[in-house]
Amino acid sequence: MNTKKQFTEVEFGQQKVKVPKGGYYDRFRMNPDLDEVAKDPAAGNIDFFRTIPKKLVGSRVGKVWAPNFYYRTANVQVLMLAPIEQLRKKLPAALEALQPFPSYGLVALTFFTYSVCDNDPYNEVSVAIVVRKPNARGPHALELVNSIRQRHFYAHVLALPVDTEIARVRGVYGYQLPKWLTEINVDIGQTEVQANLTGPSSKVDLSLTIPTPALQHVKPESHMTEATMLHQVDGVWHQTLVQSNVLSFAQKLLPRKVKLVRHGGPLSQLLDELGASTILRLDVIQDAQVVLNLPKPLRKNPLKQRQK
């Protein structure tokens, strides 16, 4: 029996991309029939998405259906301390790193796996600097406390490699995010979490191994989180909101037995340049539903200008 996956060519803006034949993108073109999605056992209960209508809206690549739905996702994240001076070297002048500790800010490294979504399964890795909310005032430590309480963080993404071409093309041309194509593996097992990605020489760039922590299972929409990416689109500052309906998760402060190995690829070098060191927090999300909105311009570009 021939089990080789077949592909078909689709258009996104001016780009032609091959996607899995008969997959979600091929069938729905980002405007899914949720009754059909509900028939997919892998998607699980999708009632959460029925409350969020999709709209055909303008974007830098023409009319697109938004927001983007991720019906079944998982991720593992380590939040690390980094010297504030190192972070400032990597941030655009308009952004200010959150500095909740004297001389130190925060860097988040996250491995994502999207097993069921509108643009077909893929994996992704993010390296991001936690930044201040636009127009924020007052102590940085208080802003961090409020962000934790509200489960809403702001970040500037420095790297966002993916492992499928449709994910790369949509991210680069639709959102102007720093995406490139590479091999990524993410496995959240019963006893161990393993994640890694490959560098340009086909050698491992970064690898992460941890014992799987005890997971907490919660009711749908009882543990909502949000993250806002601040980035430029065609030279104009935008914010992109990511909303997560977390269903199964674990969190540890100052975690032990985290094996994060830098093998010398682009992301390893980036973490070294940022001075990312002590791991403050580990988050493992075994199951979550995610909504990715289109970028929206920041009103009057209200970001605080600073001197590097």
- β partners of residue 32: none
Residue 2 is predicted with a pLDDT of 47
pTM of the model: 0.95
Spatial CA neighbour of 302 closest among 81, 86, 135, 122: 135
Residue 61 is predicted with a pLDDT of 87
Distance between CA 75 and CA 103 in Å, rounded?
29
Structure tokens at 222: 């009882």
The verdict on residue 220 lying in a domain is yes
Domain total in the chain: 1
CATH classification at residue 232: 2.40.400.10
The verdict on residue 52 lying in a domain is no
- Cis preceding linkage at 67, omega within 30: yes
The verdict on residue 234 lying in a domain is yes
Residue 303 is predicted with a pLDDT of 53
Q: 2: which DSSP letter?
A: -
Could you report how far apart the first and last alpha carbons of the chain are, in Å? 61
The verdict on residue 2 lying in a domain is no
The count of C-alpha atoms lying within 13 angstroms of the C-alpha of 105, restricted to the half-sphere facing its C-beta, is: 26
The verdict on residue 60 lying in a domain is no
The verdict on residue 188 lying in a domain is yes
60: Cβ contacts below 8 Å, ≥ 6 apart: 13, 173, 174, 176, 233, 234
292: Cβ contacts below 8 Å, ≥ 6 apart: 67, 68, 70, 240, 242
Look up the domain containing 198 and give its range.
70-297
Residue 135 is predicted with a pLDDT of 87
Q: What pLDDT digit, counting tens, does each position of 92-137 carry?
A: 999 999 999 999 999 999 999 999 999 999 999 999 999 999 988 8
Give the three-state DSSP class for 118: coil
Amino acid (one-letter) located at 262? R
Which residues of the chain, if any, have pLDDT below 50? Answer: 1-2, 302, 305-308
The verdict on residue 32 lying in a domain is no
The verdict on residue 28 lying in a domain is no
- β partners of residue 70: 117, 290
Residue 197 is predicted with a pLDDT of 98
